[in-house]
């Protein structure tokens, strides 16, 4: 009986609050002029970014410089953590010594195998459709980084390194991505455009598929850079504590 009274009180309060809030919510009737401008111009109009996805047009075209510096902040954070974990050549060799082994119960590892392939496909799809649907380089890259993280959790980091994805390679891929972003931003200067210009320098379509001009390149390189940058940090964070104690000469 006591439970029932409690249940009724909770239900009444929840429904009452929901009713009160719904009565006092007024939907916004007009759009901001800036919003109208973006909606009109992101695909049609004189300032088109040739992308039907207005958010991506804003992020990488209209407000491209803003995004460029945001990306820079993120990558400085990654460089900072890489610097904190800096190891000498012998030490990083030693950090790689170890056998891949199952660290979680068998069903988890079996599911990880299937999920990893799935995550890679999904992340590529998120990143490469950034100019068409919600998503983009950063989102895709974050999804991509989940795949190595799952392998580290299920099979230990040595499994990743045995398969050829060690810290150095991850940093190389990350650098390729960053270089790609910089080159895409600088390309318009070659044809007397301005920095990070999109249209009409980059082709809006290739083989009939809408690319959104430079947006697809930014998304692709950001995808690689974010995914590989996260992976490098995860690989460093998963070095066992005993090894770090040894490197630093800390006694138990």
For other proteins, which stretch binds (CB under 8 A), given 11-19, 20-28, 78-86, 100-108?
100-108
DSSP, residue by residue, 78-96 = HHHHHHHT---HHHHHHHT
Task: Provide the token pair at 209.
Answer: 């598929």
Binding flag, residue 25, other proteins (CB under 8 A) = no
For residue 206, the cross-strand partners are: 209
Closer to other proteins at the Cβ: 96 or 243?
96
Which one of 15, 18, 65, 110 is in contact with other proteins (CB under 8 A)? 110
Q: How far is the CB of 169 from other proteins (least distance, A)?
A: 12
Closer to other proteins at the Cβ: 182 or 206?
206
Rg (Cα) of the chain, in Å, rounded?
24
CA 58 vs CA 48, 61, 82, 129, 147: distances in Å: 11, 5, 31, 16, 29
Q: What is the C-alpha to C-alpha distance for residues 222 and 137, in angstroms, rounded to an integer?
A: 5
Q: How far is the CB of 9 from other proteins (least distance, A)?
A: 16
Contacts with other proteins in 161-190 (CB under 8 A)?
163
Which one of 17, 118, 179, 182 is in contact with other proteins (CB under 8 A)? 118
Q: In this structure, are strands 209-210 and 205-206 parallel, antiparallel, or unpaired?
A: antiparallel
Q: What phi-psi label fits residue 30: left (phi over 0), alpha (psi between -120 and 50 degrees) or beta?
A: beta
Which one of 116, 142, 193, 238 is in contact with other proteins (CB under 8 A)? 116
Contacts with other proteins in 145-164 (CB under 8 A)?
151, 159, 163
Q: What is the C-alpha to C-alpha distance for residues 88 and 95, in angstroms, rounded to an integer?
A: 10
Which one of 41, 91, 92, 125 is in contact with other proteins (CB under 8 A)? 125
| Residues at the interface with other proteins (CB under 8 A) | 3, 105-107, 109-111, 113-114, 116-118, 120-122, 124-125, 128-129, 151, 159, 163, 207-209
């Amino acid at each position: 009986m006591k439970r029932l009274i409690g249940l009724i009180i909770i239900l009444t309060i929840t429904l009452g609050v929901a009713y009160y809030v719904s009565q006092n919510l007024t939907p916004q009737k007009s759009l901001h002029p800036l919003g109208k401008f973006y909606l009109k111009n992101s695909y049609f109009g004189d300032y088109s970014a040739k992308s039907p996805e207005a958010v991506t047009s804003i992020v990488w075209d209209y407000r491209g410089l803003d995004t460029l510096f945001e990306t820079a902040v993120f990558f400085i954070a990654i460089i900072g953590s890489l610097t904190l974990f800096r190891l000498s050549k012998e030490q990083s060799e030693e950090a790689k010594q170890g056998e891949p082994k199952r660290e979680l119960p068998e069903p988890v590892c079996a599911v990880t195998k299937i999920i990893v392939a799935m995550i890679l496909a999904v992340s590529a799809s998120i990143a490469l459709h950034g100019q068409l649907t919600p998503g983009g380089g950063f989102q895709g890259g974050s999804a991509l980084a989940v795949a190595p993280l799952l392998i580290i959790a299920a099979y230990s980091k040595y499994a990743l390194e045995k398969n050829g994805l060690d810290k150095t390679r991850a940093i190389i891929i990350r650098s390729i991505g960053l270089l790609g972003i910089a080159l895409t931003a600088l390309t318009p200067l070659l044809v007397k455009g301005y920095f990070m210009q999109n249209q009409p320098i980059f082709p809006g379509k290739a083989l009939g598929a809408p690319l959104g001009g430079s947006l697809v390149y930014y998304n692709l390189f950001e995808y690689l850079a974010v995914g590989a940058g996260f992976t490098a940090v995860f690989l460093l964070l998963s070095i066992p504590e005993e090894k770090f104690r040894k490197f630093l000469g800390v006694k138990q």
